[in-house]
Chain A
Amino acid sequence: MDFEPKILGFLCNWCSYAGADLAGVSRMQYPPNIRVIRVMCSGRIDPQFIFEALRVGADGVIVLGCHLGDCHYLEGNYEAEKKFDMVKRFLKLINFDNRVRLDWVSASEGARYAQVITEFTDHIKALGPSPIGGDNPDKKILNNLKAIEDAASGDRMRALVGRERKITEQENVYGEQVDLEKFNKVFDSAIVEEYQRHRILVSLEEDTKSIKSLAAELEIDPSVVLEHIVCLKSRGQIDFGEFMGITPMFFKM
């Protein structure tokens, strides 16, 4: 049987949703795999929506908004772009970045809407089913995605992504414009660190574990695991458990 992907679409009310309506009014045909959720603006899309959709088994997620500069709310789609960029960076860590797409469709682009949806559906079809969809989801990837979801919704990532445009394109609190390279360095290391820390937390939900077993399981160098453990401990999220011989065990608080 042919694989029929499940695709979720988030469409902004003023442009893309209207574009989809236009496609309908114009009787343009496109694959029936997409289920649409209407939001008022693409800027409304919390990264967590996308991760959650993937986690419950969506094979692809597409976000559509107004063209840049056309936003009904002036700059909502610029914000959407930044947030989506973070989503992509996170998903790249588990090779899921090609299951999501952000694109722009205006209210007058019914044909373009049909074309985008068709292309994306074909693209997902070619990729095959999501390894975490269906009845036997890959536990490991699922856990990693959970870690990503937690990491992306933490204060640290939200603070960074929320301020990115202002400080890299306009000016920061000192009236200086932050070099994009400097920002990206901070941003990228934050993504990797938060991802790994949350993987540790997700893993510790199962059982108390040692650094070495965490390292083997998560394929991270044990010395790096230790560094994350120190940080998580100072945040009050984990603590020392018993020692197994010379090896300390850790548990999630």
Chain B
Amino acid sequence: MEKVGAVMVVGAGIGGSQSALDLGDSGYKVYLIESTTSIGGVMAQLDKTFPTNDCAMCIVSPKLVETGRHQNIDLSINCEILNVSGEAGNFTVKVKKNSLYINPDICTGCGVCGRNCPVEAIDLFNEGLARYHATSVKYPQAVPLVYAINKEYCIGCGVCAGVCKAKAVEYDRDDEIVDINVGAIILAPGFDEFVPQAANKYGYGKFKNVVTSIEFERILSASGPYAGKVLRPSDGDIPEKVAFLQCIGSRDYTGEGQPYCSSVCCMYTAKEAVIAHEHQHEVKPTIFSMDIRAYGKDFDKYIIKAQEEYGVRYIRSRISSVTEIPETKDLRLRYETEDGKVIEEDFNMVVLSVGLNPPNDAKYLAEKFGIELNEYSFAKTDIFNPVQTTKAGIFACGAFSQPKDIPETVTQASAAAGCVNQLLYEKRGTLITEKSLPPEIFVAGQPPRIGVFICHCGINIGGYVDVPEVTRYAKTLPNVVMSDRNLYTCSADTQGIIKEKIEEFHLNRVIVASCTPRTHEPLFQETIREAGLNRYLFQMANIRDQCSWVHMKQPEQATQKAKDLVRMAVNKARQIAPIDRIKLPVTKKALVIGGGITGMVAALNFASQQIDTYLVEREAELGGFAKYIYHTLEGGDVQAYLKDLINQVKSNKFINVYTNAELEELNGYIGNFKSTVIYGEKNERAEFDHGVVVVATGANEYKPKEYLYGQNENVILQSEFEEMLNTDSIIKNKKSVVMIQCVGSRNEEHPYCSKMCCAEAIKNALLVKKINPSTEVTILFRDIRTYGFKEKYYRKAREEGIIFIRYDENSPPEISTENSSLNVNVNSVKAGNLSIPADLLVLSAGIVASHEDNEELAKMLKVPLNDDNFYLEAHVKLRPVDFATEGVFVAGLAHCPKTIEDSISQANAAVSRACTILSKDEIEAEGKTAVIDVARCIGCGMCVENCAYNAIELIEDRRFGLVASINQALCKGCGACSGNCRCSAIDILGFTAEQIYAMITGRL
């Protein structure tokens, strides 16, 4: 069957949106299918995100707007999958688009229908804490901003059709069934949170002040029902004592919940506790947990900060029941402390940290798409490729395959797109249509001829602002040659009118006074471009969101304000000029630094798309850290996988491998890098051009100075132990093995978790028991962090009789030697001082990054490192494999400690991100960038320091000496440089100082 250059993405949460954007940017037609009425998923519900406390809405909404507007993404909401046929490369999916009863092409999202709907129903987005109407939109910033009628609640009174001035309500609008032909499918349906059963021991549903964590998230949200005030539902008071109960529905073997660990709850709970305290200082949070699983990048630091700066109290205990005190509606918790004391304590509010369940329709989806589910009803995926489902051509990302947090989801979303690239790369660009546009009209130097279009927005503006008056006023302003008003300026017919007026009046600047440029500027820019004007000859005055809607009771003042805003826009428009976006050629070749599993997977992915790839490895052999790993915890044969990978890399004609190699020099920028490599035993030199860089330099195992390592032959590292178990039978002679966790992790020197040591220890312990069941194995730990499905093996280890003893950070185990035998003395939190004889002491040493090595490369690439010397990505949540410097990507252990599977996902994700560049012949740089007036520049270098994108450097100018120079390809146009420039030598196109002065001066 012929392959198809289109991809379907099912589920438009943050994962699905990321996949769609990557693929859309790489030249595929994308069908993004969403079951609810807007995209954004759970992330749009969140208030803040850990570990940076970023505002979720601030970071997600630009991405959602981009998804909604992308010309290669066909977004369908309110959909159901009916049937799937075909095979990898050519699937046909039958999709039912359920009617919204509102025409999405006409609906402007103004919300008049919702405000007038007489039927109230529960607001699911606010988790039942507020109401919405039968006609509604999920949340105010929803994408697409289209209202929908919930037929289940609607009584068909017809009020909405009456009040809708745009005539968008269509009660006879039918469901639509379409067949969509695609080459690959990505499933990203996310998860559903665990909902405690009707009669649960926590009193959820019965006691008003017991809420789930997702409900609490809405309580915290500034745009939530309580406007960000932390109030308790029973009486609206601030709860001073809030208890968070962990593992609700997770790590639960009673059958009520799920046996696995939901991975994200420890962190989101810490975040909710911190944010609650930040919103209302009266709130004193207490978190009841078993282990604190803060295994991700910078997570441990967050937990420490929560405790030390925000006074969050942690108690290691699992609460078995909650009772309510009827008079106060406070809640009484009974718990046992680690040393066995039973304590009763009252709290004002209880938050249940609910786990992540597979999506409710997982079985349905699996059946339709013909994929298998695992024992927990999540998507079953390949052991070494966590985005590959059991069916070729169908990929899964995000929480559908295992509970995971946002950056892991985003990584997998890009990884799935990366795998799609491998399958469909020849078909890139075959199904997308490039718009043909007329040549731009030359306007430079001509006097401004401004046209002003003022929008009534139904009654949203016209009801409060005297639009005819504003229109008359606009006409009196200098250089305005026409002004007109429209019922809806954004409607399709008005776009035609705008084009006609441009021609009729020879307009060379266009102003629209209506809603917000954040959502509507691109639409109008497209319109004027179609009429032959440069996109940047456009201005918007926001007289709805920032005027009529917020001054509804002061129509006169609102009208005056609208006039002022229009005048300010006119003043700016008189100063604006066309901006040309510069185009940069792209060298379609890739450089991968590091020849471990991550680097090789990335190189192979590039190569399978026939992209020439240079793989640079410092050591003599490929393989990296994986050379010392035999199996994964889940039983994957790492050695066989590695051997296969090395063979593939070596035999691939698109991959040039340099071993014993060091990068000597790297220059250039996105699409146009030039590198020099010294390689081989004879120190040969190679030079090549490439368009992107993937950093996969890995990390090292910590070499302990503690616990007699290197002094006593019976003290070995976990990796050495693994080799011993897999190559030798010496373990049969050992009666007792003791393992110590967190050696070189989570301490002052390395204040982070190395993520894989718990799994490694349990894997080796289980192997010991398999080889010789009589060998006693004791694991001394601080927290067991077997997140996700790895929890199963922790349970298994306990069942097999492996002894787990928790020690406190402040009293680590001590080793004594008598004769030649070792004795481990540990102060157990539960059982006091213990002395354990050990034939073998195994140290779970952490993962460390080398400052010297990484810093050198980081400087060359102009990318930052974090405090622990791992590479720092562009954005912790949403750009996990990108650097702020464009065209450079990071994957694997170089980013932070992680498992093999995660490294492979990151490698594929980095390739996907890189392909958004390499798939194009040339890339367009942002038009609104900084420009420099070299005659004014004194070369002080302040701007170089302030630029977060390394877009500025100081160069020697022939006439002016040392001056700043801006790389247009890297500049994002933020203006941090310009704001600080002491000699006003830097200006920002589109926001020039002249333009801003024009707005603030000339006031009447």
Contact = CB atoms under 8 A, between A and B. Distances in A.
A49 interface: no
A155 B237 contact: no
Given A167-B157, A193-B120, A174 B171 contact: yes
Contacts of B552: 236
A246 B235 contact: no
Given A226-B231, A230-B130, A240-B227, A159 B237 contact: no
Nearest to B348: A246
Interface string B29-72: 00000000000000000000000000000000000000000000
Contact of B233 (A157, A173, A223, A234): A223
A172 interface: yes
Interface string B912-953: 000000000000000000000000000000000000000000
Interface in B201-235: 208, 225-227, 229, 231, 233-235
18 contacts: A156-B118, A159-B159, A163-B157, A167-B156, A172-B155, A173-B161, A178-B155, A210-B236, A212-B237, A226-B231, A226-B233, A230-B225, A231-B130, A231-B131, A234-B225, A246-B282, A247-B237, A248-B238
A176 B156 contact: yes
Contacts of B234: 222-223, 226
A3 interface: no
Interface of B: 116, 118-120, 129-131, 151, 155-159, 161, 171-172, 208, 225-227, 229, 231, 233-238, 240, 282, 552
A173 B229 contact: no
B171 A173 contact: yes
Contacts of A233: 227
Given A230-B129, A230-B130, A160 B236 contact: no
Interface string A209-222: 01110010000001
A246 B208 contact: no
A211 B236 contact: yes
Interface string A19-53: 00000000000000000000000000000000000
Interface stretch (A84-92, A107-115, A126-134, A182-190): A182-190
A151 B226 CA distance: 24
Interface in A218-253: 222-223, 225-227, 229-231, 233-234, 236, 240, 243, 246-248
Contact of A160 (B118, B151, B208, B235): B118
A212 B232 CA distance: 12
Interface residues of A, number: 38
B118 A222 contact: no
Interface of A: 155-157, 159-160, 163, 167, 172-174, 176, 178, 182-183, 186, 189-190, 193, 210-212, 215, 222-223, 225-227, 229-231, 233-234, 236, 240, 243, 246-248
Contacts of B171: 173-174
Contacts of A247: 236-238
B236 A155 contact: no
Nearest to B236: A211
Contact of A159 (B118, B130, B226, B233): B118
Contact of B118 (A190, A225, A243): A190
Contacts of A243: 238
A223 B235 CA distance: 5
Nearest to A182: B155
Contacts of B282: 246
A241 B157 CA distance: 37
A190 B120 contact: yes
Contacts of B131: 227, 230-231
A212 B231 CA distance: 13
Nearest to B134: A186
Nearest to B116: A155
- A-B pairs with lowest CB-CB distance, top 4: A172-B156, A211-B236, A222-B235, A163-B157
A248 B120 contact: no
B156 A223 contact: no
Contacts of B120: 189-190, 193, 231
A186 B130 contact: no
Contacts of B227: 233, 240
Contacts of B119: 186
A178 B245 CA distance: 45
Given A173-B157, A211-B237, A246-B238, 4 more contacts: A155-B118, A223-B234, A229-B236, A230-B131
Contacts of A234: 130, 225
B130 A173 contact: no
Given A212-B235, A226-B233, A230-B130, A173 B118 contact: no
Nearest to A189: B120
A16 B747 CA distance: 92
A193 to B, nearest CB: 7
B155 A186 contact: yes
A1 to B, nearest CB: 47
A60 B670 CA distance: 84
Which of B118, B131, B231 has the largest number of chain A CB atoms within 10 A?
Answer: B118
A227 B231 CA distance: 12
B111 to A, nearest CB: 11
Contact of B240 (A157, A223, A246): A246
B457 to A, nearest CB: 18
A235 to B, nearest CB: 8
B130 A246 contact: no
Nearest to B238: A246
A212 B238 CA distance: 12
A193 B121 CA distance: 12
A178 B118 contact: no
B133 to A, nearest CB: 10
A5 B484 CA distance: 63
Contacts of A183: 155
Nearest to B153: A186
Contacts of B151: 174
A225 B236 contact: yes
Contacts of B159: 159, 163
B233 A172 contact: no
